[in-house]
Amino acid sequence: MRKYITGDVVKLKSGSPNMTVVRYKNAISGGKAVESDNVECTWFDENELKTAIFHENTLDKTN
């Protein structure tokens, strides 16, 4: 079972701005897409939208 769903608000355990979970990113193995524990997140840095991928174990839910 996955820790987060789309729309969850999370932060890095080491500290970060609030980020919104967009989706889990599939990994490629043997040319096929497979489930992974990597989460795509977005947040704003001033007026600029940022996007990055983090392992779910590096995140904590804030809401």
For 10-55, the pLDDT digits (tens) are 999 999 999 999 999 988 888 988 889 999 999 999 999 999 999 9
- Which residues have CB under 8 Å from 44's CB, separation 6+? 17, 50
49 part of a folded domain: yes
1 part of a folded domain: no
| Reported pTM | 0.88
- Residue 41 to residue 49: CA distance in whole angstroms: 10
Number of domains the chain is built from: 1
Residue 38 belongs to what domain range? 9-61
